[in-house]
Amino acid sequence: LLAGHLGYKCVMTDIQKIVPLMHDNCQVNEQRYKGEGAHTDGVCGGRWITPVAKRLMWGEEEDMSECKNSICGGNVDLILCSDLVYQVEDFQPLVDTLAYLSSDKTRIVLTMRIRFVDKFEMFMGLLKEHFQVDEVSPEVVQAIHPNPDIHLFEITKKK
């Protein structure tokens, strides 16, 4: 929603049962920021672009293609991921999806809490086959979020 507020075209994704909720949230925010009486002052004023809510099942070609093609001819600049790494069986489909959606110009930002070190290392191993992964300094992350268990990674596709 923030990206839309800042004037960026974006696609929000989740499993199918969450998509209607995301869509409704986008519509409510569109009314707030574009409707009668909306605030148009400040850096974001008047530039609202309503995000699109889409289903994205990781690793499913049709979903990945539809999401990618929803963004400016398939040129994805930024992928924001938050707390996605849970189940081992989802690791490879997630990595495949990130690889499909990204180019060497795409920046991926991943935030997560490391719950199990062995699973985290397995996921990072798969991710590093396709991507350069850099962890943001814990001091920087804690200045944004005080929980020391939260980690932030900047990820780019290997050339």
Q: Is 64 exposed, middle or buried (0-12, 13-18, 19+ CB in 10 A)?
A: buried
| Reported confidence tier of residue 35, pLDDT bands at 50, 70, 90 | low
Give the predicted TM-score (pTM) of the model.
0.84
Nearest to 127 by CA among 159, 157, 150, 102: 157
Nearest to 74 by CA among 3, 5, 9, 1: 9
Contact 107, 156 (CB under 8 A): yes
Contact 79, 48 (CB under 8 A): no
Mean pLDDT for the stretch of residues 21-28: 89
Q: What is the pLDDT of residues 95-150, one digit of tens each?
A: 999 999 999 999 999 999 988 999 999 999 999 999 999 999 989 988 888 888 88
Q: Is the pLDDT of residue 42 over 70?
A: no
> What pLDDT score was predicted for residue 40?
47
CB neighbourhood size of 107 (10 A)? 14
Mean pLDDT for the stretch of residues 146-158: 92
> What pLDDT score was predicted for residue 14?
92
> What pLDDT score was predicted for residue 80?
92
What are the tokens at 74?
A: 């398939």
What are the backbone dihedrals phi and psi of residue 69, each rounded to the nearest 5 degrees, phi first? Answer: -75, -10
| Reported confidence tier of residue 47, pLDDT bands at 50, 70, 90 | low
More confident: 125 or 72: 125
Q: Is the pLDDT of residue 85 over 80?
A: yes
